[in-house]
């Protein structure tokens, strides 16, 4: 099996590169712009014909946190729709044997659903309005993957992870997801001897997965998940924003009175627990994963995405 990973400089792509090691193909934006179909097809064709690629793990996407999505829903929809459509079309023409499409739990409706979320509930309504552009683009890629699986009769399927975090994440103060954004704000607050400000009131609950754990599960799924059903890869433990904040404050050595909650900032959905199709996998504990991410961020501050 020769694997091509799209978006290999991203959070999940980097983790897959670490898990898979040498001998595979790791696409970056410098290799080809996936919004350009002709260039995308030429790139994939070359890797199939000249390097023997028969498997694609598609992680490339335009991503961002609550604030970025709320302010750029049209852009997030348009860019992700084009990227996904181009990659899927190229892979279908080239008859790729194994295609893994990466989705997100944000594709689920925010109303008329039953918790925990299961893959049969995706079509029951609209996603949360805070990120509906990104969510609809991802939903469409899931449908495309299923359709081409039926047509090609090959091992094509989608994976639904929950909130990923880890080294090589996007730590931008405005456009990042929850954990990397909080880590960066804590780092700056400590450097400047200021209060550590948390967006929202600390009450929302989330399920998190360390990026390397997700990479291991995706590689496992290539030979163990042969189904048109989306594969839900979830650590079912719910963790509050307050708990995440406490882990970060402990790691940076803040005092309790150094933590401030800014309730004018968006907090997103209160909770959206999902059920996992993966059983008997030992996920990295959240405190261990966050501490490793903080260590990586501090050691790579100058070059980290921020």
The catalytic residues are: 134
How many Cα atoms within 13 Å fall on the side-chain side of residue 220? Answer: 13
Q: Is the peptide bond before 92 cis (omega within 30 degrees of 0)?
A: no
Question: How do strand 205-206 and strand 25-26 relate by DSSP bridges?
Answer: unpaired
Structure tokens belonging to residue 24 = 């595979």
Question: How do strand 208-210 and strand 163-165 relate by DSSP bridges?
Answer: parallel
Residue pair 244/182 in contact by the 8 Å Cβ criterion = yes
Q: Which residues contact 94 (CB under 8 A, 6 or more apart)?
A: 44, 45, 48
Please tell me whether residue 293 adopts helix, strand or coil conformation: helix
Structure tokens belonging to residue 185 = 């704000």
Strand partners, 100: 57, 157
Residue pair 257/213 in contact by the 8 Å Cβ criterion = no
Residue pair 290/154 in contact by the 8 Å Cβ criterion = no
Cα–Cα distance, 135 to 141 (Å, whole number):
10
Cα–Cα distance, 58 to 234 (Å, whole number):
18
Query: At what angle are helices 132-152 and 73-93 packed, to 10 degrees?
Result: 10
* Three-class SS of 247-278: HHHHHHCCCHHHEEEECCCCCCCCCCCECCCC
């Amino acid at each position: 099996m020769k694997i091509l990973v799209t978006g290999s400089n991203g959070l999940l792509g980097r983790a897959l590169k670490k898990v898979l090691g040498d001998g595979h193909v790791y696409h970056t934006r410098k290799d080809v712009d996936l919004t350009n179909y002709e260039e995308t097809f030429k790139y994939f064709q070359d890797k199939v014909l000249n390097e023997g690629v028969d498997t694609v793990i598609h992680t490339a996407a335009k991503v961002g946190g609550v604030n970025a999505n709320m302010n750029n829903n049209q852009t997030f929809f348009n860019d992700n729709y084009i990227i996904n459509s181009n990659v899927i079309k190229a892979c279908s023409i080239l008859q790729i044997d194994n295609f893994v499409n990466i989705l997100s739990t944000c594709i689920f409706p925010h109303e008329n659903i039953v918790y925990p979320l299961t893959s049969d509930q995706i079509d029951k309504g609209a996603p949360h309005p805070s990120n509906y552009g990104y969510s609809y683009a991802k939903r469409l890629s899931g449908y495309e993957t299923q359709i081409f699986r039926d047509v090609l009769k090959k091992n094509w399927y989608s994976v639904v992870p929950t909130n990923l975090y880890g080294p090589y994440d996007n730590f931008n103060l405005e456009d990042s997801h929850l954990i990397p954004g909080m880590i960066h704000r804590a780092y700056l607050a400590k450097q400047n001897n200021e209060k550590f400000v948390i967006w929202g009131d600390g009450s929302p609950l989330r399920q998190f997965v360390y990026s390397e754990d997700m990479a291991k599960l995706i590689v496992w799924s290539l030979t163990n998940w042969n189904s048109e059903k989306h594969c839900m890869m979830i650590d079912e433990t719910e963790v509050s924003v307050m708990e995440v904040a406490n882990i970060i404050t402990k790691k940076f050595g803040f005092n309790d009175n150094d933590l401030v909650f800014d309730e004018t900032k968006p907090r997103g959905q209160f909770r959206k627990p999902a059920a996992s199709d993966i059983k008997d996998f030992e996920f990295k504990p959240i405190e261990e994963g966050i501490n490793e991410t903080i260590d990586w961020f501090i050691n790579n501050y100058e070059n980290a995405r921020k």
